[in-house]
Structure 1
Amino acid sequence: MSRLARRHTKPEVALRRELHRRGLRFRVQLPVPGNRRRTIDIAFTRVKLAVFVDGCFWHGCPEHGVKPSTNPEWWRWKLARNQERDADTTRLLEEAGWTVLRLWEHEDVLASASTVELRWRAAAPDG
Structure 2
Amino acid sequence: MSVRVYVPTTLAGLAAFHAAGEVPAGTDHVEPEGDDEDSEYDALMTAAAASAELAPPDGRRVVLVAEVPEPGAAVPMRLVVSVHSDTEDRPAGADPEDDLAWFATQEIPDLIGGVGGG
Q: What TM-score, normalized by structure 2, do the two folds share?
A: 0.32
Bigger-Rg structure (1/2) = 1
Q: Between Structure 1 and Structure 2, which shows a larger proportion of helix residues?
A: 1
**Structure of greater relative contact order (alpha carbons < 8 Å, 6+ residues apart):** 2
